[in-house]
Structure 1
């Protein structure tokens, strides 16, 4: 693998040198100075060219430079903390160097969740032909809220967790769920980071925003996703800064985040660090079935979780050079993480554990190179990583829900009779190459190629062995290779009123391994697939503030390594998995009036073959299985109204009706997709007032309401569904634990800036009425909790 990486690096270096030698004719240089309204320079201001996705920061004198820019008409955007965003059109004539001054106006309320000024990158993402739900984490970074909570307040999105802080978080969006929705960090697939960096762990302070693409993916996120993608955009816009936040909450919860960036005055060198800590006992009350020792019957009881602690450390150190003749950015990083988890239960809450633990850790180097030439730009990312996953289960007995240990001489472990001392190494080598070619002012071609070599190798002295040789099954290496290529053409038509994206994709994977869960002979299993896909997305502007957009896609999603091999914990392997295929159509409308209102309505239709769905098996474990045919449609709507300049209300709802068809089973035919909410809604009210206790303070108050309609853990006949309109009221025609009941959650809180926006105090009460909360596989989540957060920015 390392030989392949060395060859790849050598090839990349030779390619870049050849590009650098290539003449950059027909180009110009843009320079300038950023100042405030009083004429003072603004070091650290972020200047970006929208069409090229290039950015730089102003040096100590407020100066900046873009070199080798193709001639044309562009939009230049300037942002700085505490100032209004400036967008200006640049139309160079015959000059080779263009120099001008940019003046920013002060805006004391820029970080307020109420105030939105200009077309920031967040708003620009919302206006693309491909539907994107953009979550502005910067606006709420002072709140003690998790990224999961923020995403659950958005239309069409549900994050289902299997417990408290640190538990598995599965994303469901517009009829798709699980790995059909890909996760990215700054445009790079996050598989190489394992469980160390995901939406359940990353503090909102680490992010600039979150882009959630629905249905069709942009070419730059060329992955085998069916339902869209989540792209976590990290902070990188400031010149020099340091930020720290600390949160303490119920159930002995502690969350710490640290961010720092240093850039020299010449803007040629940078170094930074991001780190966070998550820790929680997760010892909240749950209602479970306990066994009476005398009668051996089961009855419901409320108990406190006692073996559910989670601890996670994450740190990334990075540095590099920028704004040179041969590189816009060359960034080298090293990431390390460690996860320690006590396992209170398996895939469901049917049986408690009191000693089973698991761990995951790794150190990961990364390399990223970006450069824009005359009409061509390149973005190359490389990484290699080995993630070790261990599982320890040697209790020699079982536990009950009250924490009592029941010894059993016939058992080695509690989760499984034979126990486990497994240690697995998951090795990744990932390359992502993105090339963009500006054909002319109206058309751009983009090629994105993601390839990944993955393998699994391990040992378990207590695990299964081959019947003939007695060899440990895990000592046989399992190999997996995947490549996804996307070629896209973006066109601005009809005097920029119409934007069209046409994307063609190619998918390939092959795997060879021996099934570690269902062992037999030592003969390896092999599978290989090649598929093509196509997508089209169109946006047409009706007025300057309203537009319609439509998209359609025929796509394939390849099984992931951990879906086929298992995850080394409670997810079993399944080598019979088939790729899932989907045809999806999306249609939407959006209109807005600045600081008055915004309205968006979207509809979607999906037909999915061989959908990969994670389901419980054997009570304690889960497994990914294919669902032959699923079809459905849905609608979502989101509205925001500014009641006053300082007070904003927003609400959204999602209804989706996804059902089985062509099952060959009279009872299952037409059933709703199992374990999938079909209606959920949110309401929110937030307001900001200044000068509460002093002339320099600011208070932000907010309230959120979330409702999830009852849904079903397993398939039920359509005749037994509620008889109300679309199933939105009434009750199912049976009474069983299979029903996940209606849920209504209330959250209130405030943030207070006593002196300025650099220091903030946030207090939040989650699940105010202590409503029982059930999530994925009907696992109960925490009730009412109190959280306090302190946030400080040194800029």
Structure 2
């Protein structure tokens, strides 16, 4: 199937290129009356809706112009508009030199009205939460913290910096919400690039889609998607940041881009580093190695250091006859992790470590052929994962080691020297065709093939002595989305209709506890459909609604495991869901904004990550889950310099048709059902100098108690919607109410190119528990310096 698709793509591309051969290229210069070049002039053919801008040398080029006479238009602020009729007379390249005369009259006022990409994304028919990372890049805040301040979103980490981050949105969890980088599924980068690691300085914004996904993403997600949009610059740009914080934490980032004066050639690099000892204090139950007596204690983590490096170098050409952009990239990353504990904090480790590294080449090609746009992405990579556990004994929470000759490791009696290679090949093709002024047809195809092969001299074997990691495990999936976007009634009504096709096949060999050979092969074929509509009620108000019947195919790490503390499950079924979403938004720019959304879900075979013992987790299917929820978000400018915002989310996801009286109607385990945020931001100019600026902010987050495992509905708090009162039992199964306060400031002494940020997180040093009741860091102090060279 993949070969046939590739052949189809090549044939279509060849046909398109051939069809464009008769086109003409118009090029030339734009100068003023004194023969000086005019950079930034707009040159175009209005009848074809084709425009460009002149370079620093005053040159321009318009490619793919249809044969025949056309009228060229040139505009520049402060100069008279020039209109000129041009007849190519059969020429393939037409040179046009234009001279603009200065405008004699003066402009008393110029008003430019438009909408940023962030505003446009917020107003799509498909619900999107847009996080403007550029607005807070001076703050020493992580992307996890920024997203947790948004309505309907909770990211739960299994520890400090670099720990696994599970995204929960509208009741769906983890891989049910897909992650993208500039519209490309992020699986091919493994753990090297994710929301827990990427500094906010690397991003332009974060788009969080809830429920239905746009056709351009077109992935197999149920709860939505997170699209990390990297920074874009048209010319030359450099930015560096460095952050130092408690627990010997260091974070650095660097972005560099260079383009020549014609803007047809570019090179750049993005890099970041994260390092932390993560040696904060936690409350644990200590087991005495001699007497086996258990007692509560507060200890400092001693084997929890995390380090990662990420570098992407890229280059290419742009704005040519045959490519709007051709970009080649090479990414290298490495992760080194000390493992202090496994799936829970029931037992500490003191020597187990894991690594992950890879070199990833990428290719992206984009070209607009009049009404047809093509965007092709290709990558192939091998990610190496190693797990080393050879301590012949065990550790306690104080770091004391007790030798045990009968053990080879501490995470298991066998230990581990696993070395696993995960191979990826990913192709993403996007084609869009503008049918007419009001309708656009779009097709998105994501094809991914993944393989796992490895070795572990200390691991399990088949009965014949063969390493169970040695046989190659293969997984292939294909997701095709076809969408129609329509506009009507003067663009007051926007509609998206999307049809999806899902295909997946897995071929692997598994074993049981006695070493039997168990072939695992299955194929899944599904169809889905989605509809989203938005109706404008005025210039700044609208309602929107969407519905979807969707399928989410298992991810390769859910099937194969991750090579560390997450076990394989080759019998996972695709999860299916029927989703409904509705919302209303209104705002008065510069004054206030209010948004209210609600959702309803019915999910079959929901894929949930759960602990299977005190060390390991595994993804398992939950047969029937039904839920509804509501979220509200509001912002208010109290004065010209003071703004406040807040949001809350309540969601009620429960099991049904379980056949078990105790479980029937129980809340979905390990899932918060109420959380809220409040923020206050003050911006004060001219504090110490004429051009400086001081920003002071405060954030508060509340999470209502929830439960690590299922509990009978009768034992839940009796208060309204479960928002107050206590559960009818007292056990470690309860993840208690959490209140988190953070304050900070940023100072720009001259302009926005240089800033210093200071932040105190968890101001009152309260215990913070997260995924699987793992405790996160207490109070910490962060200092960040940011510098931009334009």
Instruction: Output the TM-score relative to the length of structure 1.
Output: 0.90
Closer, same or farther: CA 396–373 of 1 in aligned 2, 3 Å: same
Query: Structure 2 vs 1, CA of residues 10 and 461 (structure 1 numbering), >3 Å: closer, same or farther?
Result: same
Higher Cα radius of gyration: 2
Given that residues 598 and 640 in structure 1 are in contact (C-alpha distance below 8 angstroms), is that contact kept between their aligned partners in structure 2? yes
Deviation (angstroms), 1:237: 2.6
User: How many angstroms does 1:181 deviate by?
Assistant: 0.3
Aligned match for 1:616, one of 611, 633, 643: 611
Q: CA deviation at 1:59?
A: 3.0
Q: Is the 8 A contact 2:462 2:511 kept in 1?
A: no
Of 340, 347, 352, which residue of structure 2 is paired with 1:351? 347
Q: Is the 8 A contact 1:398 1:408 kept in 2?
A: yes
Distance of 1:62 and 1:306 partners within structure 2 = 61
Call closer, same or farther: CA 1:508–1:404 in 2, change over 3 Å.
same
- Partner of 2:71 in structure 1? none
TM-aligned CA deviation for residue 58 of structure 1 = 6.2
Alignment of 1:567-578 (within 5 A): 567-578=562-573
Paired with 2:204 and 2:52, the residues of 1 have a C-alpha distance of 16
C-alpha deviation, 1:46, in angstroms: 12
CA distance in structure 1 between the partners assigned to 2:332 and 2:42 by the alignment: 29
Q: Which residue of 2 aligns with 1:276?
A: 272
Query: Structure 2 CA distance, aligned partners of 1:33 and 1:752?
Result: 42
Find the counterpart in structure 1 of residue 243 from structure 2. Answer: 247
- The answer (yes or no) to whether the contact 2:26–2:61 under 8 Å persists in 1 is yes
> How many Å apart are 1:794 and its aligned residue?
0.7
- 1:290-329 counterparts in 2 under 5 A? 290-293=286-289, 295-329=291-325
How do 1:475-486 residues align onto structure 2 when only pairs under 5 Å count? 475-486=470-481
Distance 1:206 1:582 in 2: 34
Q: Partners in 1 of 2:571 and 2:101 — Cα distance?
A: 63
Query: How is 1:448-463 mapped onto 2 (pairs within 5 angstroms)?
Result: 448-463=444-459
Query: 2:123 aligned with 1:132, yes or no?
Result: no
Contact 1:648 1:687 in 2 (8 A): yes
Pairing of 1:533-572 with structure 2 (within 5 A): 533-572=528-567
Whether the 8 Å CA contact 1:128–1:539 is kept in 2: the answer is yes
SS where residue 221 of structure 1 aligns?
Answer: coil
Cα distance, 1:94 vs structure 2: 9.7
- Pick closer, same or farther for the CA change 1:124–1:301 going to 2, 3 Å: same
1:722 to 684, 693, 717: 717
CA contact (8 A) 1:516 1:565 kept: no
Deviates more, 1:513-522 or 1:441-450: 513-522
Corresponding residue pairs, total: 755
Aligned equivalents of 1:187 and 1:117: distance in 2?
28
Change (3 A) 1:359 1:517: farther
1:239 Cα offset (Å): 1.3
Which residue number in structure 2 is paired with residue 16 of structure 1?
13
Relative to structure 1, the CA distance from residue 790 to residue 663 in structure 2 (aligned partners, 3 Å threshold; closer, same or farther) is: same
User: Is 1:123 aligned with 2:119?
Assistant: yes
CA distance in 1, matches of 2:640, 2:287: 58
| 1:734 paired residue among 723, 729, 732 | 729
Matched, 1:431 2:431: no
1:560 Cα deviation after fit: 1.0
Distance 1:279 1:34 in 2: 53
Residue of structure 1 in register with 2:789 after alignment: 794
663, 668, 671: which is aligned to 2:666? 671
Shift of 1:47: 12
For 1:42-441, list aligned pairs within 5 A: 59-61=55-57, 67-68=63-64, 118-293=114-289, 295-441=291-437
The answer to whether the 8 A contact 2:581-2:597 is kept is yes
Q: Is the 8 A contact 2:511 2:517 kept in 1?
A: no
Map of 2:72 onto structure 1 = none
Following the alignment from structure 1 to structure 2, what is the Cα–Cα distance between the partners of residues 444 and 497? 16
Q: Is the 8 A contact 1:182 1:223 kept in 2?
A: yes
Which residue number corresponds to residue 766 of structure 1? 761
Matched, 1:639 2:644: no
Report the secondary structure of 2:449's partner residue. Answer: strand
Partner of 1:780: 775
Aligned-pair CA distance for 1:626? 0.4
Per-residue CA distance 1:586-613 (angstroms, 9 max, x = gap): 0000111110111110000000000000
Please give the secondary structure, in 2, of the residue aligned with 1:602: strand
Paired with 1:195 and 1:255, the residues of 2 have a C-alpha distance of 17
Match of 2:109 in 1: none
The one of 497, 500, 508 equivalent to 2:495 is 500
Distance in 2 (alpha carbons) for counterparts of 1:767 and 1:210: 24
Deviations, residues 523-548 of structure 1 (Å, cap 9, x unaligned): 52101100000000000001111000
Q: Against the structure 1 CA distance between its residues 437 and 482, is the aligned structure 2 distance closer, same or farther, given a 3 Å change threshold?
A: same
Q: Which secondary structure state, in structure 1, belongs to the residue aligned with residue 688 of structure 2?
A: coil
Given that 2:709 and 2:733 are in contact with CA atoms closer than 8 Å, whether structure 1 keeps it comes out as yes
Q: CA deviation at 1:53?
A: 13
SS of 1:192's equivalent in the other structure is helix
1:696 to 691, 695, 708: 691
Match of 1:597 in 2: 592
The answer to whether the 8 Å contact 2:30/2:37 transfers is no
Q: Deviations over 1:87-126 (max 9, x none)?
A: xxx9x999999999999xxxxxxxxxxxx99411011100
The 8 Å contact of residues 46 and 237 in structure 1, kept in 2 or not, is answered as: no
Alpha-carbon distance change, 456 to 629 in structure 1, aligned in 2, over 3 angstroms: same
C-alpha change, 1:472 and 1:46, in structure 2 (3 Å) is farther
**Structure 1 residues 290 and 443 mapped into 2: Cα distance closer, same or farther (>3 Å)?**
same
User: How far has the Cα of 1:8 moved from its partner?
Assistant: 8.1
Cα distance, 1:566–1:535 mapped onto 2, change above 3 Å: same
**Aligned CA-pair RMSD:** 3.1
How far is 1:646 from its partner? 1.6
**Residue 511 (structure 1) aligns with:** 506
* 1:248-282 deviations in Å (ceiling 9; x for gaps): 00000000100000010011100000000000000
| 1:407-462 CA distance string (max 9 Å, x none) | 00100000000111000000000000000011000000000000011000000111
User: Deviation of residue 732 (structure 1)?
Assistant: 0.6
Distance 1:527 1:719 in 2: 40
TM-score by length of 2: 0.91
Contact 1:536–1:553 under 8 Å retained in 2: yes
- 8 Å contact kept, 2:27–2:59: no
Counterparts in 2 of 1:279 and 1:21: CA distance versus 1, 3 Å:
same
Q: Which moved more, 1:597-606 or 1:23-32?
A: 23-32
Output the CA distance in 1 between the equivalents of 2:44 and 2:733.
52
Q: What 5-or-longer segments of structure 1 have no aligned partner?
A: 72-85, 104-115
Could you say which residue in structure 1 is the equivalent of 2:679? Answer: 684
Q: Is the 8 Å Cα contact of residues 211 and 230 (structure 1) preserved in structure 2?
A: yes
Give, in whole Å, the separation in 1 of the partners of 2:101 and 2:123.
28
| Cα separation, 2, equivalents of 1:449 and 1:339 | 31
Q: Report the CA distance shift for 1:735/1:42 in structure 2 as closer, same or farther (over 3 A).
A: farther
Matches within 5 A, 1:522-533: 522-533=517-528
1:474 to 465, 469, 480: 469
Question: Structure 2: any 5+ residue segments left out of the alignment?
Answer: 68-76, 88-93, 104-111
Indicate if the aligned counterparts of 1:474 and 1:516 stay in contact, CA closer than 8 A: no
2:714 is the alignment partner of 1:748? no
Q: Which residue is equivalent to 1:83?
A: none
8 Å CA contact retained: 2:739, 2:766: yes
Q: Deviations over 1:286-330 (max 9, x none)?
A: 000001356533121100000000000000000000001111000
Q: Residues 519 and 240 of structure 1: is their aligned pair in 2 closer, same or farther, counting only changes over 3 Å?
A: farther
Cα pair distance change 1:736/1:32, threshold 3 Å:
farther
Structure 2: how far apart are the matches of 1:162 and 1:258? Answer: 27
Of stretches 18-27 and 663-672 in structure 1, the one that deviates more from structure 2 is 18-27
